[in-house]
Amino acid sequence: MSNEYESNDGWGQAYKCGGIPMYPEEYHFHIDNPIEFSEDEIQDRKMRVDKFLNQYGFKLTND
Amino acid sequence: MNFRDIEYRFSLMLKFLSNAFSLNEFKRFLKDNRGGLMLSFDEIHIPDKDWLDYKRLEVDQSVKSISPNDLTKEFCPKVCKLVDEFHRKTVNEDIEWMLYFDYTNGEVIYCWKGEKGKAKGDFENIHVCNRKIASIHNHPQGFYSFPSPDNFDILENVHEDYEIIISYSAFWIVKFKGKIAKEYRKLFQQFLGGDMGRIISIIRTNCPKYDIDNITEDVIGNYLMNEIDKEIQGIDLLLVKKEFD
């Protein structure tokens, strides 16, 4: 949710999410009108995360 | 009706009868349901109900304190005390509380009482635009300490320089002085949401149930501290994490 700030006059809305719920609650990030990514962009991002997770012993990529 | 309601209504009547308001001002005040505004107007301080409730929260003296050394030097001593008190007051709460305050003088501008998992409220720009604003909110027990993608709305909030997030196990400080356009803020949050979702999914699939939450705290905390972009549209993003032992 965004906080619109247009000028010194007028109103804004403050919103703070209380965090991601712990297991076993499910987490789904929602954003209005999400940006469409290409398949390549999606795979690049996934590879980046998996490479990071390798250091924890998950071995999701071959590096 | 409980005691707090009675006291609140009584204070309203006293202010009215004291002629501190014109009738029009009093009617405007009665319609004011945005909650949270702490600044006095007409030189008469009107306690907001959420603020009254917040002030009455028990202070838990058993939890570890947050010292000024844990915070930024830009926070005045009154603010350091405010942050520590907020931690002690909200650590056992199962709902979310949020304050907006001026971090140069410790003046609380807004106070909002939320619910489990979120807090929100309206503010008038005129009360924040010429101040140095920091927000503070708590993540109730059952929620991870680290900022969620939604907690990076600060990237678009020109009025908010610091966001402090207090939880049972740790506190985080997000510093971002400036504002980026909405589309870049959404892009950042969408990327982060996807990354966090994948990390959480893999941990939950591969790790023993009793260890999932500790591992998630550790791994995503590390991801936020070391893997996400720390300069966004030319503005530095600073993340600080301090664990309570």
Q: How far is B221 from chain A (nearest CA, A)?
A: 12
- Share the mean pLDDT of chain B: 86
pLDDT classification of B48: cutoffs 50, 70, 90: confident
User: What is residue B40's predicted lDDT score, i.e. its pLDDT?
Assistant: 46
Q: Is the pLDDT assigned to residue A13 strictly greater than 80?
A: yes
pLDDT, one tens digit per residue, over B64-78 is: 999 999 999 999 999
pLDDT classification of B226: cutoffs 50, 70, 90: very high
Q: Specify if A11 maps to a domain.
A: no
Q: Is the pLDDT assigned to residue B25 strictly greater than 90?
A: no
User: What is residue B33's predicted lDDT score, i.e. its pLDDT?
Assistant: 47
Chain B interface, mutation test: which of A7, A8, A16, most B Cβ atoms within 10 Å? Answer: A16
User: What is residue B43's predicted lDDT score, i.e. its pLDDT?
Assistant: 38
Q: How far is A19 from chain B (nearest CA, A)?
A: 5
Residue range of the domain that includes A45? 39-63
User: What is residue B177's predicted lDDT score, i.e. its pLDDT?
Assistant: 97
User: What is residue A60's predicted lDDT score, i.e. its pLDDT?
Assistant: 79
User: What is residue A2's predicted lDDT score, i.e. its pLDDT?
Assistant: 39
- Closest in A5, A48, A60 to B125, CB measured: A5
Q: Specify if A7 maps to a domain.
A: no
Tokens representing A37 are 């990514």
CB within 8 Å of A59: residues ≥ 6 apart:
none
Q: Specify if A44 maps to a domain.
A: yes
pLDDT, one tens digit per residue, over B97-109 is: 999 999 999 999 9
Q: What is the ipTM of this complex?
A: 0.83
CB within 8 Å of B129: residues ≥ 6 apart:
A8, B159
User: What is residue B44's predicted lDDT score, i.e. its pLDDT?
Assistant: 43
The 3 state secondary structure assigned to chain B is CCHHHHHHHHHHHHHHHCCCCCHHHHHHHHHCCCCCECCCECCECCCCHHHHHHHCCCCCCCCCCCCHHHCCCCCCHHHHHHHHHHHHHHCCCCCCEEEEEECCCCCEEEEEECECCEEEEEEEHHHCCCCCEEEEEECCCCECCCCCHHHHHHHHCCCEEEEEEECCCEEEEEEECCCCCHHHHHHHHHHHHHHHHHHHHHHHHHCCHHHHHHHHHHHHHHHHHHCCCCEECCEEEEEEEEECC
Q: Is the pLDDT assigned to residue B7 strictly greater than 80?
A: no
Tokens representing B214 are 């500790």
Q: Is the pLDDT assigned to residue B26 strictly greater than 70?
A: no
Determine, for residues B196 and A20 on separate chains, whether the beta-carbon distance falls below 8 Å: yes
User: What is residue B129's predicted lDDT score, i.e. its pLDDT?
Assistant: 85
- Closest in B126, B186, B219 to A35, CB measured: B186
pLDDT, one tens digit per residue, over B164-189 is: 999 999 999 999 999 999 999 999 99
Residue A21 is classified by DSSP as: B
Q: Specify if A49 maps to a domain.
A: yes
User: What is residue B68's predicted lDDT score, i.e. its pLDDT?
Assistant: 93
Q: Specify if A54 maps to a domain.
A: yes
Give yes or no for a contact between B71 and B43, defined as CB atoms under 8 angstroms apart. no
User: What is residue A6's predicted lDDT score, i.e. its pLDDT?
Assistant: 43
- Structural domain count, chain A: 1
Of the candidate ranges A23-27, B16-20, B87-91, the one whose mean pLDDT is the lowest: B16-20
Q: Specify if A53 maps to a domain.
A: yes
Give yes or no for a contact between B63 and B91, defined as CB atoms under 8 angstroms apart. yes
Give yes or no for a contact between B167 and B143, defined as CB atoms under 8 angstroms apart. yes
pLDDT classification of B47: cutoffs 50, 70, 90: low
Q: Is the pLDDT assigned to residue B196 strictly greater than 70?
A: yes
pTM to 2 decimal places:
0.83
Q: Specify if A16 maps to a domain.
A: no
Question: How many of the other CB atoms lie within 10 Å of CB of B90?
Answer: 25
